[in-house]
């Protein structure tokens, strides 16, 4: 910057009322001091008004002036005008580099800060977006692993904690070491203000869930559950049948078609690599993403030379039209392609086999009307049309032969230009357009949560992509790898801003049996039962001791991977709830763990009366000695309605009294 930009503070209480002075005078003298003595003629001075009666200008940058003369003790400022939108101190400090409390003159040292002030308030939105991106970049620079699996016995809160883990990656929760839990930070509370909820009445957990749901809705978080029939076609991409009648833009037809559909993993990878650019040109406000497609379109019979009547009509009415009015969707390839276009796709109108003329952005779905009557035509034709926004004029011509990899354009009415990317087309008309990147997903963390990751066949689901999950093989890394997908033939890589959180129930399958290729690419976080979450006095039953003692016995008889999680008892409020949990959840789980070996189950329960047995003798069941040569003990679960407090206390206390004293009446 040839001239220097300054901020001078003005305090009506101690110096003079700058607002009043500049309203009445075109030039004002300012006292020279040690902080402003280096000001020179031609410098621009912004006046910050700290205290004043006029509320509009209070504590804001309000006045722009220019230094026109300097004497021994004075600086003469020419009034250039008041800011239409005065800039508050907080925004000056955050976005314009103001570090002091503005007790004296301060030079603005960086051009970006000057640009922020001169372009305010439009610059505020850009600055806020950049600040948000910076925060998200810091999230990407954290030490959180790209691939992690939460593993543990059932009921330890693995799926429950994926919300905390996801919000930690996004930078909305922080670990409170003293409380041993994740808590929402100031950034989260600001984000919650944008949601349609009364957060004052919400619990901490509800707030977290609301944020989580919002990011799922926006596509920044994805969730899927693996199971034995889940495959590559569901997770990555696959060929799926579709009736053409499923397209509500076409007439009903029973013709079966097949299409390649993306799975959730491929969708998340695309989202994590996308960006959105805004185009400003005579009111145009269009979003272009990396999934935008480019289409070639012929408007007219010849498509060569001067613009034909159909081109002129379409340019004037901001639309594209296609003929084949007598053809159904499935009967004509160009008609099918016309329907495949999506809003924000780019359409290029043919001029010659190497050149295009009009370039437009598709705005809406296919519509139908009675058609158009063109000069020298006897009937109306071209009934199908789509609205577009043209980015240039009929007089423009662009040679795209080289861009299309030295391939000539054909006379087929409509087809995708697969060799050309949207940004390559747009650079041809950059003199018409001003681009502003309003969102860059590559700078944001994206999260895919895979519940029950060990229940799926990993080799079947991931196929050749399992290597790409490795952090060092992600896109953007030195050892990055890319594969060609088997169905779409598209090049594919996994971005380095996609985090994967898996959950694994160790009772369902041992961690030792997990796919070795998957194990070495993930970090494992053990989730163990947290006894402190439970009540120490639930109608006289110490749930903490009860669960701890049961788990000790299970670990001795089996292993720690099949213990019982605290979540089973989280909602237990009284003895009645405890009976229901044991009868409907705990005992069936123990039956599964011990394969109906009731003697061991009874040992876990410490012979507390929930199970009873009797010996079946040969004569009682009338079986010959050829079948049964010994007596057999048969077990059954007792009536849960008859269980008392003692039955639960006995699990962890051998001295528990079976018959309570009169003043210790049990409740059911």
Burial degree of 163 (CB within 10 A; 0-12, 13-18, 19+): buried
Q: What is the token pair recorded at 316?
A: 């004037």
Distance CA(399)–CA(276), nearest Å, equals 26
Mean pLDDT to the nearest integer, 571-581: 96
Q: Where in the chain is the domain with CATH 3.10.590.10?
A: 5-120, 274-439
Mean pLDDT to the nearest integer, 26-42: 86
What local confidence, expressed as pLDDT, does residue 27 receive? 85
What is the dihedral sign for C-alpha 647, 652, 658, 663? negative
Q: What is the token pair recorded at 243?
A: 């009736």
What local confidence, expressed as pLDDT, does residue 438 receive? 62
The domain defined by 137-226+444-528 carries CATH number 3.40.50: yes
Does residue 29 surpass a pLDDT of 80? yes
Whose structure tokens read 């999230």?
A: 139
Does residue 657 surpass a pLDDT of 90? no
- Tell me the CB-side half-sphere exposure of residue 580, using CA atoms within 13 A: 9
The model's pLDDT over 322-355, given as tens digits with 9 standing for 90+, comes to: 988 887 766 788 998 999 998 889 999 999 999 9
- Please provide the average confidence, as pLDDT, over all residues in the chain: 84
What local confidence, expressed as pLDDT, does residue 658 receive? 72
Length of the chain equals 668
Bigger pLDDT: 59 or 227?
A: 227
The domain defined by 5-120 carries CATH number 3.10.590.10: yes
Strands of 267-366, DSSP E = 275-281, 284-288, 294-297, 319-322, 346-350, 355-362
Whose structure tokens read 């009675």?
A: 370
Distance CA(197)–CA(134), nearest Å, equals 27
Q: Rounded to 5 degrees, what are φ and ψ at 561?
A: -70, -15
Whose structure tokens read 């379109």?
A: 297
Strands of 227-304, DSSP E = 237-243, 256-262, 275-281, 284-288, 294-297
3-state secondary structure (DSSP) of residue 610: coil
Mean pLDDT to the nearest integer, 487-500: 92
Look up the CATH superfamily of 274-439. ph1033 like domains (3.10.590.10)
Helix axes 111-118, 122-140, angle to 10 degrees: 140
Q: Where in the chain is the domain with CATH 3.40.50?
A: 137-226+444-528
Alpha carbon of residue 498 to chain centroid: 10
Distance CA(507)–CA(564), nearest Å, equals 9
Give CA separation, 268 vs 221, 263, 449, in Å: 8, 9, 11
Does residue 522 surpass a pLDDT of 80? yes
Helix axes 204-217, 158-170, angle to 10 degrees: 70
pLDDT band at residue 269 using 50, 70 and 90 as cut-offs:
very high
What local confidence, expressed as pLDDT, does residue 434 receive? 61
Mean pLDDT to the nearest integer, 455-479: 90
Bigger pLDDT: 206 or 326?
A: 206
């Amino acid at each position: 910057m040839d001239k220097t930009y300054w901020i001078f503070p003005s305090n009506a209480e101690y110096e003079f009322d700058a607002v009043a002075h500049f309203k009445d005078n075109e030039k004002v003298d300012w006292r020279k001091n040690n902080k402003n003595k280096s000001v020179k003629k031609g410098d621009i001075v912004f006046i910050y008004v700290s205290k004043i009666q006029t509320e509009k200008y209070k504590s804001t940058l309000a006045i722009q002036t220019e230094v026109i003369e300097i004497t021994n003790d004075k600086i003469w400022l020419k009034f250039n005008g008041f800011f239409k939108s005065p800039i508050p101190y907080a925004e000056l400090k955050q976005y314009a580099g103001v570090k002091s409390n503005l007790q004296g003159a301060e030079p603005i040292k960086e051009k970006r800060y000057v640009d922020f002030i001169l372009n305010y308030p439009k610059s505020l939105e850009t600055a806020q977006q950049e600040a948000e991106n910076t925060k998200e970049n810091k999230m990407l620079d954290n030490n959180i692993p790209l691939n992690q699996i939460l593993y543990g016995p059932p009921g330890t809160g693995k799926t429950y904690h994926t919300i905390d883990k996801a919000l930690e990656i996004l930078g909305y929760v922080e670990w409170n070491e003293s409380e041993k839990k994740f808590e929402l930070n100031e950034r989260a509370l600001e984000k919650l203000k944008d949601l349609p909820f009364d957060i004052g009445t919400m619990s901490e957990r509800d707030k977290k869930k609301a944020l989580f749901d919002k990011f799922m809705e926006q596509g920044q978080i994805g969730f899927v559950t693996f199971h034995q029939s889940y495959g590559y076609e569901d997770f990555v991409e696959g060929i799926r049948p579709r009736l053409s009648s499923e397209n509500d833009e076409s007439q009903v037809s029973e013709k079966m078609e097949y299409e390649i559909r993306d799975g959730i993993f491929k969708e998340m990878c695309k989202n994590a690599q996308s960006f959105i650019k805004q185009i400003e040109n005579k009111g145009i406000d269009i979003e272009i993403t990396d999934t935008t497609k480019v289409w070639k379109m012929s408007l007219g019979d010849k498509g060569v030379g001067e613009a034909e009547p159909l081109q002129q009509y379409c340019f004037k009415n901001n639309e594209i039209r296609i003929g084949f009015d007598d053809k159904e969707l499935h009967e004509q390839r160009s008609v099918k392609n016309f329907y495949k276009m999506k809003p924000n796709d780019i359409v290029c109108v043919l001029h010659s086999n190497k050149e295009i003329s009009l370039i437009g952005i598709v705005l809406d779905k296919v519509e139908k009307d009675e058609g158009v009557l063109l000069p020298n035509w006897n009937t109306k034709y071209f009934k199908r049309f789509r609205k577009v926004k043209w980015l240039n004029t009929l007089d423009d011509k662009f040679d795209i032969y080289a861009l299309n990899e030295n391939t000539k354009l054909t006379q087929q009415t409509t087809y995708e230009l697969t060799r050309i990317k949207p940004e390559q087309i747009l650079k041809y008309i950059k003199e018409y357009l001003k681009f502003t990147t309003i969102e860059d997903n590559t700078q944001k963390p994206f999260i895919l949560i895979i519940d029950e990751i060990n229940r799926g066949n990993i080799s079947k689901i991931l196929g050749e992509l399992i290597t790409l999950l490795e952090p060092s093989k992600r896109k953007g890394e030195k050892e990055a790898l890319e594969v060609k997908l088997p169905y779409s033939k598209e090049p594919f890589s996994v971005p380095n801003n996609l985090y994967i959180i898996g959950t694994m129930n160790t009772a369902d399958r041992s961690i030792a049996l997990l796919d070795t290729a998957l194990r070495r690419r993930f970090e494992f976080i053990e989730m163990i039962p947290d006894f402190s979450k439970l009540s120490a006095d639930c109608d006289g039953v110490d749930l903490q001791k009860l669960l701890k003692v049961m788990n000790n016995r299970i670990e001795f008889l089996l292993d720690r991977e099949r213990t019982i999680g605290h979540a089973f008892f989280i909602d237990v409020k009284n003895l009645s709830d405890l009976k229901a949990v044991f009868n409907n959840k705990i005992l069936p789980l123990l039956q599964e763990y011990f394969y109906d070996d009731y003697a061991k189950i009874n040992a876990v329960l410490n012979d507390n009366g929930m199970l009873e047995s009797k010996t079946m003798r040969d004569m009682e069941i009338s079986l010959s000695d050829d079948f049964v040569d010994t007596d057999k003990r048969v077990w059954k679960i007792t009536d849960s309605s008859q269980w008392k407090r003692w039955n639960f206390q006995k699990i962890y206390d051998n001295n528990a009294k079976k018959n309570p004293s009169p003043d210790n009446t049990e409740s059911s």
